[in-house]
Amino acid sequence: MAMHVISRFAPSPTGRLHLGHAFSALLAHDLARALGGRFLLRIEDIDPGRCRPEHVTGIIEDLRWLGLDWDEEPVFQSQRLPLYAQALERLKARGFAYPCFCTRARIAAEITASIAAPHGPDGPLYPGICRTLGEEERARRIAAGEAHAWRLDSAKAVALAGPLPWHDAAAGPVAADPAAHGDVVLARKDAPTSYHLAVTVDDAAQGVTDVVRGQDLFAATHVHRLLQALLGLPVPRYHHHALLLDDKGERLAKRAGSPTLASMRAEGVDPAGLVERLRAQRPLAFP
Ligand code: GLU
């Protein structure tokens, strides 16, 4: 029986794809194909400083080389900024977002000066410097054109959202703990959105039922689950897969000089054999 399944691969075009990306793309693709669903490609190009059009072309070439196909034209996040702006406005209107004027240096200094800076999965949390600014000061600094990001008032949001259950195919039932991430950025100083906001909005807008991605993004799902609750969006099933390791147990994606698919192709690697070896790695637990 065909299930209603939509999965996606959502690379950021900051470079060419590596084996780890290939593994993730393959798992997402195979999940949809096995269940008679659809597989989408979304290009996460909201970071103007790091994304390059030639990497988009390269990624598409790499995926085709692996023999993957996707349904529908690829979606580009850079063309969907109004959608994210709308979501941010909704969060602002309900008092869940505040402007943050801090520079990185200011945040670092504050963290160094504090006796016990709270830490999240990605390091020290934003120490909340701008959370307590008054409305008047905020309005004045924005009107004066001072550069600012927008942050989630996580304590307020969590208090209002209530319990946040989600399900991971490998980990089972999870209760989201978004407060552990602190006041994450919703819109950056240099981009009118952030990874967390854009990915949450898009997974819902594209009707994604199954998010397949690496274990390294497991913790980010706590934040996405909170944003889903605040924005009234459906909650997909999650499949955070193990990361490919090299023979020394080091993460492939982190290893300096780990080969790109493009370089493997140039060396004459047979893509069918490669895909077969990747598929043999770890089958995905189906929902
Ligand atoms: N764009 C993210 C990355 O390349 C992946 C986003 C996701 O799968 O949620 O790491």
Each residue's pLDDT tens digit, 73-125? 999 999 999 999 999 999 999 999 999 999 999 999 999 998 888 898 888 99
153 lines ligand 1 (CB under 6 A): no
What is the pLDDT at residue 208? 98
Claim to verify: residue 96 and residue 171 sit in the same structural domain:
yes
Q: How far is the CA of 17 from the centre of ligand 1 (A)?
A: 12
Position 231, amino acid = L
Active site residue 254: yes
Q: pTM of the predicted model, to two decimals?
A: 0.94
* CA atoms of 138 and 135, how far apart (whole Å): 5
| Total domain count, the chain | 2
- Which mutation among 193, 195, 223, 224 tests ligand 1's pocket best, with the greatest number of atoms within 8 A of CB? 195
Question: For residue 145, is it within any domain?
Answer: yes
59 lines ligand 1 (CB under 6 A): no
Position 39, amino acid = F
Q: What are the residue ranges in the chain where pLDDT is below 50? A: 286-287
Claim to verify: residue 84 and residue 199 sit in the same structural domain:
yes
Per-residue tokens: 249: 């147990």
Environment class of residue 115 by beta-carbon count within 10 Å: exposed (0-12), middle (13-18) or buried (19+)? exposed
Claim to verify: residue 73 and residue 110 sit in the same structural domain:
no
In terms of residue numbers, what domain contains 127?
A: 80-205
